[in-house]
Structure 1
């Protein structure tokens, strides 16, 4: 289990070293309090007397170390031992969190220094019960608690650190310049950057000067790395194990983070007889754009080939994680191309790591909207390319859907079981995603992707005025102004004259299209891609043969079937009539008509070709329960959309009262309501 809370700084300047410390402290407080409650309950359950049962010598010794010396419990060693464990755990909680979480008075006891010490004490209790006919007692609450300690330690969940590569480059550049090593690091070629960084990693001295006043960004970054080392020492090494680098484009993006770890004492360069090189925190590239996905195998191959990196891998259990971004790749290249490039990148990475004998764990940054890789988790895992799951997979769960999936214990258990079941099935039956004729299917998919990419890029990045249309016809500006979401809507501050689609974050991009009921990132380009591919066949007979191929792909290839299923769901939520109301918010009539007519035509074409491939004229015909669920929300969703349009008109009019708190509150409520109605919307 992992969390990005307190560690994800990508685009959010308010996540600092203090935020990381607070998140770690809060997590420790939650899990230690739960341990204390469980230990107290066990003390009430394990009240057996030595007059009736035998106990082990180790259990007696544990009981003797307890601060409880009440004569009323002199013959109850299990209870006394657990009181001692409770006392030590309460002292641990006070030391780690500053809180007195003990619910019951206890005597003085030393704090545990590691979770393994607590686990060892509980094992003494388990072994004593097992050796004296108490297996049934050991296999209930006690066994669950022992397993929880193995999993959660004193940290509860690992906090992943994340930052965009540009910030690392700026930080390293300043460190090198101030230290007099290199005055223009950012201007160096990629080859020169690698040479310099590798040389610095072997240097025993540090770059950071203790009394120099660094820029706010550099100081903050150095503080984060130092805080990471601090919380690892305090709560255990598992609390910070991964460092994710957003927008990884080159090998130097990875080396920069290794160098920053060295500055915080978390990198061992393996010289002076100190053993092999090692990183305390695994450096994980996040490949997001279409180009980066295509370059991922080359970059990872260069990383694995670095001199001495074998020692780093050995320290990591001969395992390396790679994260794949669904949101930015979709925003960059559209729904179809994003999914296809992710598919190809996974296959290429698996082939590379198998050849090098290194275990690969893929981390899928997916969830929320279909444009961000959302959709049913079970089908998503089973549709992964053959051989890419291989016993393990890592997935993100977006904050806005955590409550719907895990707030209820039974639903949470069911969701976890679904993930485990799909992972096992994909691992043990990989040939299901390798149908006969796969080469033909992949060739067809490549052609479709090329056409879809062209259609999407032409609309979003090459249509004059499209950015103005987008900002006018969606609530993207209000989402930013009303401070919705966990981070700014753009990685860069923009005024109205300088704003660009490229600078928008992918999450508000997709979220805004959902608000206006177009959900464009989840389907645009598919219709024209299929139509062009069919038209290229020439004769009617050749067209029919290609359509038959698409039908076979839908029936036999889980990847393509899942793709169409997700698109079907998105189209069922879209509404051109409602979207036309939002289009009226664009005051430039010529621009409005040009863009909306293209979107409308593509929507109609996409519905037509999807129906031709699946044989279904109605949306979600193969999933009537979901179709009914979505349809039942429309009487609530549609009025919210119409209200939102009117509120946006008032808010943007600049007239008296347009910035009234009630108007802003109304927009806020409408955004939340529409998001809740669309469900996978963030």
Structure 2
């Protein structure tokens, strides 16, 4: 599997390598060669020469395809009629290579950053160090900064994803391989315990090869919950408290006595187990499991840290003078063996009290408990207060160096993770709310036919009901299965709030929110569960009601809906009770599926502008929650650029965004990489909040008008293909693995919200994942080429209009980011491979009708992109991705050909279980290799 010696000279598309570029990337190529060679040896030893020879031939032929030495059909013939049991190890080999290439690329990024630092170069953009320099240059005053960062929050929200199916063993083994490669980076030949690093690599790659990559059974929500929580022990427990402490110290040093970021800015969230939109597998028990497992994970970590601290803080009361508060805390522990060790006794008290807390709030108990029969902590603040006593005493007798180590990390952890670990959002579709609330109103005798009412009448009924404390139903109510289930789920959320604290369930999100009544219906459900009381002078609502605007029409009407609901005194009272904070979620995925890439991006930008204006008009503090997926078609792309591309006022100290699937593993599976990605989120949030990053000034409105024009053209072109071309749905289902995404054991969530074949009902993840697997990548570019070409035209004004676009690309972060992200997608798209998938469409006329349009638009988009950017190289502004495309994409080629072959066989009625497993393995392998496929 080692990279061929001549491949560094070979072009791919418009990517070229200068001598300097080859020299800079040679260490990475050496890493890839080493890992590939070990993997190749492992394949030969474990699966025989026959499999190894086929893998090697496929690898060599793939590179020949890239160099245009052979036709793609020659490579695909290697796999014609291949036995499924022979195909499986080939698929696994290329999947493992993709995984190992990810490791090599991540290590190379660290290597390049170290080179920049060693050379004394200025901090790179997207680092906190660079952000601090920018803030210093802006000469901001403390009051401005403190106001802008009031209630600041940066929250990556972990969500489930069907392509992230790796088992924990695979996850842990990959992590160990990363650590070993990092040791090699620093010049080590042996591990700390004297083991040869190359032998250790061989051992772990052998374990990787002999471990099943995926589960044979359908992924359950319980599995997804476990997968999401593993990132805490892998990285979050170490990194998040560290970043919070770093940022707070840096800003408070610049603006002393301002109390900036007294609360942690970086706080993670989760959707796994609370997101039931289109997922019938989410139940009250699942909500209890998700919140309980999160709390268990937090407290288990605290127990480990307290045990370690007790070992470390062995100071004698005869040698140090402790504070009176520390003495009082320690005296609660009466163990005579530790009479001379006040810190150890104090820590045992804390440990004992936390053990009682765990027994009271957890369904299962972690290890390292210490049952001393003491009263528990009611809140994390009480635990933190005791830890602060230890900190204060250490500092008072000159032991700050001890206070700043493990104890400081634990204090920061308690501040951010509390007893809840991460906030679990609950989410449901507005149509479900509507149906359930109608049933509740009918049962209570409030209104027999709520669904027949118009919007104004609905709002009147709901406001009247919310103004009373009387519940709609009692314990003996006879409800439908749907209504009973929904209420039970919300009650499970209420229990989590009561047991773990209000941060355990911070938000209730309404999918496809299209009206004020949609928001008030959610409020009714919260009221029934005891999570909302708007009846008196002191409204109560620990859970925020968050509208999610998803389609382009809904995005355009979002600000009007927000203003209308805030005009209701009852709802405004709830917002006031929450510190005037109102969160709004923006749907990147469904807006893209609805109107295409450019139209969706512009609709989101316009919606943010309108929402910011509404927030200023109504006097609320707006927090935007970005429903981004991994792919550009679902809002993906470099996070730093994406945040800086937000309109003025849209960030204002707060940012929430979803993190999904293989993107989570790529960004957060390992502490150093996690630190880099988390600091990027915080850096961009600070810059967007405190600096003018849009850069348009007085020319903003003309720029907006240009994008209005382009977006309308792009949406028409996209709709003509997706919504108006006869047979498009049939083409999509036949030419991509979308049907198999639903039929095979991928993820806990059904592929569609409803049992229909409509594109509108298909979930965005399968929509994007399917196009990614077939290498069309349609959601990330289609319609944009036509929009640009039509806008520029071919008349006397063409050059001037092209100049307008070039000027916007040069000056406007939003526009340059949209084009840069699209270039990334186009670099990963491959119409030659897409043509192989199109052959799965039996109807030849339909095949040409759709695929010919796709190819023409693809070519048109690349042509216009190059004209606007002035660059022949699609990835001129993204050398890291250029390296990745160059080094790894030939290894994707066999996976695509094998997927097509197995799909054809599966659809023809081959019920061999290995055929199905092979399809699933190719999906996982391609997702791993592309790194942002869904």
Smaller-chain TM-score bracket? over 0.9
- Segments ≥4 residues shifted beyond 6 Å: none
Post-superposition Cα deviations, 1:282-319, rounded to whole Å, max 9, x if no partner, equal 00000000000000010000111111333212221111
Distance 2:342 2:297 in 1: 28
Aligned partner of residue 204 in structure 1, secondary structure: coil
Mapped contact 1:385–1:433 kept (Cα < 8 A): no
Distance in 1, Cα, partners of 2:326 & 2:483:
53
**TM-score of the superposition, structure 1-length normalised?**
0.96
The answer for the alignment partner of 1:348 in structure 2 is: 610
| Rounded Cα–Cα distance in structure 2 between residues aligned with 1:666 and 1:47 | 57
Q: Does 1:238 align with 2:494?
A: no
C-alpha deviation, 1:607, in angstroms: 0.7
Match of 1:286 in 2: 548
Q: Structure 2 residue aligned with 1:604, among 853, 856, 859?
A: 859
SS in 2 for 1:396: strand
Q: Partners of 1:102 and 1:86 in 2: how far apart? A: 12
Using the alignment, how far apart are the partners of 2:923 and 2:367 within structure 1?
43
Matched, 1:662 2:662: no
Q: Contact 1:258–1:279 at 8 Å: present in 2 too?
A: no
Instruction: Tell which deviates more after alignment, 104-113 or 554-563.
Output: 104-113
Tell me the matched-pair count: 667
Question: Which of 334, 339, 343 is residue 78 of structure 1 equivalent to?
Answer: 343
Counterpart check, 1:131 vs 2:396: yes
Conserved 8 A contact 1:94-1:101? no
Task: Using the TM superposition, give the Cα deviation of residue 671 of structure 1 relative to its aligned residue in structure 2, in angstroms.
Answer: 1.0
Query: Structure 1 residue 338 and structure 2 residue 594: aligned?
Result: no
SS in 2 for 1:401: helix
Question: Does 1:539 find its partner at 2:795?
Answer: yes
Within 5 Å, give how 1:624-635 maps onto structure 2.
Answer: 624-635=879-890
Q: Tell me how far apart the structure 2 counterparts of residues 375 and 105 of structure 1 sit (CA, whole Å).
A: 47
Q: Which residue of 2 aligns with 1:428?
A: 690
1:396 has 2:661 as partner: no
Select 2:485's aligned residue among 220, 229, 242.
220
- Determine whether 1:485 maps to 2:752: no
Corresponding residue SS for 2:815:
helix
1:106 positional shift: 4.7
Alpha-carbon distance, 1:521 to partner: 0.5
Q: Which has the higher contact order (CA 8 A, sep 6+)?
A: 2
Indicate how the Cα distance of structure 1 residues 578 and 386 shifts in structure 2: closer, same or farther if over 3 A, else same. same
User: What are the equivalent positions in structure 2 for 1:196-595 lying under 5 Å apart?
Assistant: 196-271=461-536, 275-435=537-697, 437-494=699-756, 499-535=757-793, 539-540=795-796, 542-595=797-850
CA contact (8 A) 1:383 1:433 kept: no
* Farther off after superposition, 103-112 or 204-213: 103-112
Deviation at 1:485, TM superposition (A): 2.9
8 A Cα contact 1:335 1:524, kept in partner: yes
- Alpha-carbon contact 1:270-1:278 (below 8 Å) kept: no
Does the 8 Å CA contact 2:463/2:570 hold for their aligned counterparts? no
How many Å apart are 1:437 and its aligned residue?
A: 2.9
1:173 has 2:438 as partner: yes
Q: Give the TM-score normalised by the residue count of structure 2.
A: 0.70
Q: Secondary structure at the match of 2:654?
A: coil
1:192 aligns with 2:457: yes
Pair 1:616 & 2:871 matched: yes
> Deviation at 1:431?
4.5
Confirm or deny: 8 A CA contact 1:384 1:433 kept in the other structure: no
CA contact (8 A) 1:90 1:101 kept: no
Task: In structure 2, list runs of 5 or more residues that go unmatched.
Answer: 1-267
Q: Deviations over 1:570-617 (max 9, x none)?
A: 001111111111111111111111111111111111111111111122
CA distance in 1, matches of 2:503, 2:285: 19
CA contact (8 A) 1:365 1:395 kept: yes
Cα distance in structure 1, aligned partners of 2:388 and 2:515 = 48
Alpha-carbon distance in structure 1 between the residues aligned to 2:821 and 2:748? 26
Residue 108 of structure 1 corresponds to 373
1:69 pairs with one of 305, 322, 335: 335
- Offset from partner CA, 1:502-553 (integer Å, 9 cap, x none): 2111111011011111000100001111111122xx633x100000111111
Cα distance in structure 2, aligned partners of 1:663 and 1:334: 34
Helix, strand or coil for the counterpart of 1:167? helix
SS at match of 1:320: strand
2:626 match: secondary structure: strand
- Aligned to 1:150, which of 415, 423, 431? 415
Task: Provide the C-alpha distance between the structure 1 equivalents of 2:358 and 2:689, rounded to a whole number of angstroms.
Answer: 40
